[in-house]
């Protein structure tokens, strides 16, 4: 009476079909929400081109290199201590072909940012496809898409003339390859990895992700591993000899001094890790809690998805070692490519929630949406304020054809070189000053007593200068102009 009746094959099949129908209904019900989040993520990324704020210091520096060099010159060390992958720079330059870069700063700024914008949008689709290959649960896929598509830092860097959004796209695509594909032929594996390794010419961190994928191959077939490793090193040696070595020779000391505070050592490792989580992926308010969830997700991945666990470990070790050796600074924008892996680990933690508690997942998803929208609102307001206040582009326009002399501190030289190409300035009216703030004796050496003090990184005019001025001081979020009559 208390014994359970054993199900027949027919009943088992019926039960299986019933379960599949239930899963299918859940999938159909959640797909519109997933697609809505994807579309919303794209819209958020398109808001920045509409605002089209001016280029900031590093963007101006990179823009000068792209506009003023031929394609072959982009493979040489860049001016102004800039470092960027040569094929990324080449792709950006292709977008500028056929456009006169001295006609309109608005058009030029937009064109220079097309590649990062396209990469930022494309990364959403690539990451969703990766999630579909890792998780069956549609709620988990939805949570992952929300954390990726609405992440304020990923959105912010999707419209900046730097390779960071491209790093994210390349990292996701490489991971997708190693998760999904396993060629049987040794030669296929060799050529696949060879072609994938060329992505290091588009994204510097691609080498970290590829290394993680190679370790996965080692666990499966050591012969394939040596074929893949040979292909990887062929590209790496060429790249190191012809590009990275030259860059390090030209910029090594300067970059080492500039990033000194962001190189890992025994004293700052904890602070840098917490700062990174706080500024790039802090979905649980306190960075230490977020780190705890990520660690829990990693533990789950070790049993459920070892490929992701291995890739994550290898990337983490290589990044920490590179930073310790002063080769790669541990800073948010240069580690943006690691955000997708943190999201995956959080999804792993969500995916092991026991049956019964999984009903809380939709509530967690709603909280995630609210949190990201709240943070994103602050980011957008910041960009809107940057646009309405005086920026570098507006400063240069303000002194255009004014007939006044232009005083430029050396630290704003890059902005001046970039934006002055859009206006007709007479060279004899431009004066460069060695220090950030001009002193009165130096100001007296300028022949024309009517001049502008142009300083993108000065949000405060020196008191000894402003006290004498009978003109107008205009302050902006990234600089100031002092008009002296």
Pairwise CA distance, residues 276 & 287, whole Å: 9
Query: The whole model's pTM is what?
Result: 0.86
Do the beta carbons of residue 168 and residue 126 sit within 8 Å? no
Q: Which pLDDT belongs to residue 465?
A: 52
Instruction: Using CA atoms of 415, 420, 425, 427 in order, give the dihedral in degrees to the nearest 10.
Output: 50
Handedness of CA 282, 287, 289, 294 (dihedral sign): positive
Six-digit token string for 369: 């949406």
- From its phi and psi, is residue 52 left (phi > 0), alpha (psi between -120 and 50) or beta? left
**DSSP assigned state of 479:** E
Residue 114: closest CA among 67, 41, 174, 166: 166
Pairwise CA distance, residues 438 & 461, whole Å: 10
Query: What sections of 135-185 are H helices per DSSP?
Result: 138-149, 152-156, 164-180
Instruction: Using CA atoms of 350, 352, 356, 361 in order, give the dihedral in degrees to the nearest 10.
Output: 10
Pairwise CA distance, residues 378 & 383, whole Å: 9
Q: Which pLDDT belongs to residue 206?
A: 94
Q: Which pLDDT belongs to residue 14?
A: 42
Six-digit token string for 139: 């709620």
Pairwise CA distance, residues 392 & 60, whole Å: 10
Summarised one tens digit per residue, pLDDT across range 236-279 is 888 776 666 666 666 667 777 778 889 998 889 999 999 999 88
The strand pairing partners of 430, in sequence order, are 406
Largest CA distance in the chain: 109
Do the beta carbons of residue 298 and residue 311 sit within 8 Å? no
Six-digit token string for 31: 């797909």
Angle at 104 between CA 481 and CA 428, to 5 degrees: 50
Six-digit token string for 343: 């999201």
Do the beta carbons of residue 208 and residue 315 sit within 8 Å? yes
Q: Tell the residue number behind the tokens 């199900």, with chain if given.
A: 7
Q: Which residues of the chain have pLDDT under 50?
A: 1-22, 459, 464, 470, 473, 475, 477
Q: Which pLDDT belongs to residue 467?
A: 53
Summarised one tens digit per residue, pLDDT across range 389-424 is 556 777 777 776 666 777 777 766 788 888 888 877
Q: Tell the residue number behind the tokens 């920026």, with chain if given.
A: 391
Instruction: Using CA atoms of 378, 384, 386, 389 in order, give the dihedral in degrees to the nearest 10.
Output: -130
CA 247 vs CA 251, 318, 458: distances in Å: 6, 20, 30
Work out whether strand 405-409 and strand 451-455 pair parallel, antiparallel, or are unpaired: parallel
């Amino acid at each position: 009476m208390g014994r359970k009746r054993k199900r027949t094959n027919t009943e088992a099949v019926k039960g299986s079909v019933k379960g599949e129908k239930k899963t299918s209904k859940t999938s159909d019900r959640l797909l519109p929400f997933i697609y809505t989040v994807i579309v919303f993520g794209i819209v958020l990324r398109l808001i920045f081109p509409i605002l089209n704020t001016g280029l900031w210091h590093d963007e101006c520096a990179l823009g000068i290199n792209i506009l003023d060099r031929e394609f072959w010159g982009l493979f040489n060390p860049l001016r102004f201590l800039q470092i960027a992958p040569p094929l990324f720079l080449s792709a950006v330059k292709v977008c500028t072909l056929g456009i006169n870069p001295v006609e309109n700063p608005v058009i030029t700024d937009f064109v220079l940012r097309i590649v990062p914008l396209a990469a930022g949008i494309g990364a959403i689709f690539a990451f969703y496809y990766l999630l579909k290959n890792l998780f069956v649960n549609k709620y988990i896929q939805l949570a992952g898409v929300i954390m990726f598509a609405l992440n304020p830092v990923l959105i912010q860097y999707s419209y900046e003339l730097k390779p960071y959004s491209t790093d994210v796209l390349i990292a996701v695509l490489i991971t997708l390859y190693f998760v999904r594909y396993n060629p049987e032929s040794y030669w296929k594996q060799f050529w696949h990895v060879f072609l994938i390794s060329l992505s290091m010419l588009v994204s510097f961190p691609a080498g970290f992700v590829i290394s993680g994928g190679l370790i996965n191959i080692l666990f499966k077939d050591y012969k394939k591993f040596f074929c893949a490793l040979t292909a990887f090193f062929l590209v790496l040696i060429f790249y190191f000899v012809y590009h990275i070595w030259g860059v390090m020779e030209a910029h090594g000391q300067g970059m080492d001094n500039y990033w000194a505070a962001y190189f890992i050592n025994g004293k700052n490792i904890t602070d840098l890790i917490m700062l990174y989580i706080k500024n790039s992926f802090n979905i649980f308010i306190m960075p230490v809690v977020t780190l705890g969830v990520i660690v829990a997700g990693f533990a789950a991945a070790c049993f459920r998805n070892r490929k992701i666990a291995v890739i994550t470990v290898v990337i983490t070790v290589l990044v920490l070692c590179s930073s310790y050796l002063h080769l790669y600074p541990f800073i948010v924008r240069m580690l943006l490519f690691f955000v997708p892996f943190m999201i995956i680990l959080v999804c792993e933690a969500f995916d092991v929630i026991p049956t019964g508690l999984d009903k809380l997942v939709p509530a967690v998803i709603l909280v995630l949406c609210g949190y990201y929208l709240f943070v994103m609102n602050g980011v957008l307001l910041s960009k809107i304020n940057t646009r309405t206040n005086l920026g570098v582009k507006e400063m240069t326009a303000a002194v255009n054809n004014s007939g006044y002399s232009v005083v430029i501190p050396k630290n704003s030289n890059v902005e001046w070189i970039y934006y002055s190409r859009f206006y007709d300035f007479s060279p004899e009216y431009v004066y460069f000053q060695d220090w950030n703030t001009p002193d009165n004796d130096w100001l007296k050496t300028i022949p024309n007593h009517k001049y502008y003090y142009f300083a993108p990184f000065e949000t405060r005019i020196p008191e000894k200068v402003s006290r004498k001025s009978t003109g107008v001081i205009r302050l902006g979020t990234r600089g100031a102009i002092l008009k002296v009559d």
